Amino acid sequence: MPTGTPMDAQTLLLLRRASYGPTPALLTEADRLGARAWLERQLAPASIKDAYTDGVLKRFPRVTWPIAKVRQQFADDFGTWAVMMDLTRATLVRAIWSERQLFELMVEFWSNHLNVTCPSGDVWDSRADYDRVVRKHALGRFADLLVEASLHPAMQAYLDNASSTKEHPNENQGRELLELHTVGVATGYSEDDVKNSARILTGLGTDGTGEATYRANRHWTGPVQVLDFSDPNESASGGKDLAVRYLNHLARHENTARQIATKLCLRFVSDNPPESLVSRLTSIYLEGDTAVVPMLRELFTSREFATSAGQKVRRPYEDLVATVRILGLKADTSGTKGIENLHWMVLDMGQAPLYWGPPNGYPDVAAAWQSPAGTLARWNAHQNVVERWSVKTLTGPAITTLIPKPRPATHGALIDALSQRLLQQRATAAQQKAICDFLTDRWNKIAPSTPLKSDSVALTWRFAHVVGLLLDSPAHALR
């Protein structure tokens, strides 16, 4: 797609919501394929080659280690955060450079829904392995994801079920399973339901090697009932099978369907999810036996999605990732210094990937992220990336390659062309005036109509500020 060529609003909305932000290559691809074909390609990520990202990920080999190898390699340093920090940075790499953008968004969605804080001392050896479980099922069936994630040693440790016994059932995972992972508080479950949920999960935990295990001698036996699920639970030897049946039942509960449908709409459509779309997605979830892809297909092709422009704001992490993507920057030629510095930047912005502490996951409404300090952090990050202050080892085109050719005749035309390139829309008159006012000094009054010369400050030492100011605009802040 030629630079500056307008893209139809619906395709652009899809790209901004179903990816971490457009890149010049992504805009060209979507223009060539069309919106529907681009979406279908994203819904089949195995068909998409991702050689560049795979190459960069080889710089983080520890994230591929199984639990046993992590523990073996760090036998003298139990509790190390090394592998978890690698996972955080590998997550950032995938968000910025992967061609499988919708897949990566869904990995983030489920990591948030089934949150296990990273880094966190209890999961130092298992968090990278847990990430592989989420990735395995990100576009599969929620029932399969819920079972495997719930029984995983990382979740068992994070929500304290590893310490649960029949004498003293720990209610943490049993409660969060109902409240956050499946049916939700609006279902109206009771304290007895929570206690029985915890009893069903007794016996599950981890062994001395950090792997998941089941100990029949720790399983509580006796009749259990949680909402409309009941079981005589007579044999301790059948406790793990009971837990799997219980998890599968919860995954297919109508209220779970509504919870997932609502959260998908919250992520991709609006801070106020439209009831009509939530209801349809709930039905599709139940009819499709918890399959995710049919829900996403309906969501992204719905009338409600088509009319939702301007209703979602990027969170800090997405804002930084989108900035790197639209500027066309790439990873360090070798090593990981630039990637590490991006990680520190987004940590300072308040939303490092996987880092949310409580089990409820990062909030996904604009109000949760609005503050003067947060806005200033975003603006500083934009200028940092544009001028490559702390990320100078990142590669990619120099900022001056954004200068249009042929050179625009006026300052207003320059700002408009840059806005088309960076924001995929024309600059408003107010934006043009504000940036020209910024460029004005006591010697030179600059207006949008002021002729642009080769030595104008807007093209020389203040050009990076013009780019940064456009990225500071509300248009860049929107998904």
User: Cβ(299)–Cβ(307) under 8 Å?
Assistant: no
Residues 48 and 170 in one domain: yes
pLDDT tens per residue, range 222-243: 999 999 999 999 999 999 999 9
Same domain for 237 and 266, yes or no, is no
Neighbouring residues of 104: CB distance < 8 A, sequence distance ≥ 6: 20, 94, 95, 98
pLDDT digit string, tens, across residues 361-412: 999 999 999 999 999 999 999 999 999 999 999 999 999 999 999 999 999 9
The reply to whether 290 and 416 lie within a common domain is no
Name the one residue in this structure whose structure tokens are 């990520």: 45
End-to-end CA distance of the chain: 21
The predicted model scores a pTM of 0.96
- For residue 105, give the amino acid letter: L
171 within domain boundaries: yes
Looking at the structure, do residues 290 and 214 belong to the same domain, yes or no? no
User: Same domain for 278 and 208?
Assistant: no
Q: Which 3 state secondary structure label does DSSP give 358?
A: coil
Token reading at 384: 């940092």
pLDDT digits (tens, 9 = 90+) for 280-303: 999 999 999 999 999 999 999 999
Do 146 and 167 lie in a common domain?
yes
Q: Are residues 234 and 262 in the same domain?
A: no
Would you put residue 160 in left (φ > 0), alpha (ψ -120 to 50) or beta?
A: left
Full residue range of the structural domain in which residue 417 is found: 400-477
- Over residues 68-92, the mean pLDDT reads 95
Same domain assignment for residues 58 and 161: yes
| Together in a domain, 95 and 188 | yes
Same domain, 258 and 164: no
CA–CA dist 124, 122 (Å, integer): 6
Residue 315 falls inside a structural domain: no
d(C-alpha 141, C-alpha 51), whole Å: 27
Picking from 227, 251, 275, the residue at the C-terminal end of a domain is: 251
Q: 347-367 pLDDT, tens per residue?
A: 999 999 999 999 999 999 999
451: left (phi over 0), alpha (psi -120 to 50) or beta: beta
Determine the distance from the C-alpha atom of residue 305 to the mean position of all C-alpha atoms in its chain, rounded to a whole number.
Answer: 19
* 133 lies in the same domain as 216: yes
In this structure, the answer to whether residues 420 and 300 fall within a common structural domain is: no
Q: H/E element holding 85?
A: helix 82-97
Helix (H, G, I), strand (E, B) or coil at 410: strand
Domains held by the chain: number: 3
